[in-house]
């Protein structure tokens, strides 16, 4: 069994869609970034790549490469997952915590889990997505951006699920 950790953060920006876990969430502002800035997909991607020892999202999809500009990060997660599979690993489980003040994500968490599960060839029962505020503290509390933490477990080559 392998465990990987992923972290991501993005600043809010006006005139951008808010895409989290592949789901477009109604919001006055979205997140700035080279791709669609889906910080949830980015953190999960880093978690599975970390568990497989395959580096990180920035090395696999460099943000100065025009082919990834405005890319769908759920598609990037799926591409990373295919590399993880090719290396002989199987996805078991991911647990995600999104930290932001607004908007409230509770109505969207199950759709995010479904979308992430689809990219990982998994059942959504194997993906946990949670959201919490930062209790008004610091840059997250001021609504300047969001942070996401994720862990993922994989079985190693030859391992049984
Ligand atoms: Mg990112």
pLDDT tens digits, 93-146: 999 999 999 999 999 999 999 999 999 999 999 999 999 999 999 999 999 999
Q: At what angle do helices 73-86 and 109-119 cross, to 10 degrees?
A: 40
pLDDT at 160 over 60: no
For the record, the structure tokens of 85 come out as: 């599979």
Nearest-5° Cα angle at 146, 142 to 136: 30
- Residue 62 — very low, low, confident or very high, per pLDDT cuts 50/70/90? confident
User: Tell me, what's the pLDDT at 70?
Assistant: 78
CA of 8 to the centre of ligand 1 (A): 5
CA of 39 to the centre of ligand 1 (A): 5
pLDDT tens digits, 22-52: 999 999 999 999 889 999 999 999 999 999 9
CA of 159 to the centre of ligand 1 (A): 30
CA of 35 to the centre of ligand 1 (A): 8
- Residue 159 — very low, low, confident or very high, per pLDDT cuts 50/70/90? low
Q: At what angle do helices 73-86 and 39-52 cross, to 10 degrees?
A: 10
pLDDT at 161 over 50: no
User: Tell me, what's the pLDDT at 67?
Assistant: 84
Burial class (CB within 10 angstroms; exposed 0-12, middle 13-18, buried 19+) of 42? buried
């Amino acid at each position: 069994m392998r465990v990987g950790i992923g972290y991501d953060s993005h600043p809010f920006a006006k005139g951008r869609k808010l895409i989290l876990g592949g789901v477009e969430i109604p919001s006055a502002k979205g997140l700035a970034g080279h791709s669609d800035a889906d910080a949830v997909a980015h953190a999960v991607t880093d978690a599975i790549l970390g568990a497989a020892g395959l580096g990180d999202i920035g090395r696999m999809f460099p943000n100065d490469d025009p082919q990834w500009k405005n890319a769908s990060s759920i598609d990037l997660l799926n591409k990373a997952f295919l590399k993880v599979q090719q290396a002989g690993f199987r996805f078991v489980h991911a647990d995600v915590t999104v930290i932001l003040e607004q908007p409230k994500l509770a109505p969207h968490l199950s759709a995010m889990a479904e979308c992430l599960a689809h990219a990982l060839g998994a059942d959504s029962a194997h993906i946990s997505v949670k959201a919490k505020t930062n209790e008004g503290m610091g840059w997250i509390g001021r609504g300047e951006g969001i942070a996401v933490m994720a862990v993922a477990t994989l079985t190693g080559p030859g391992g049984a699920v």
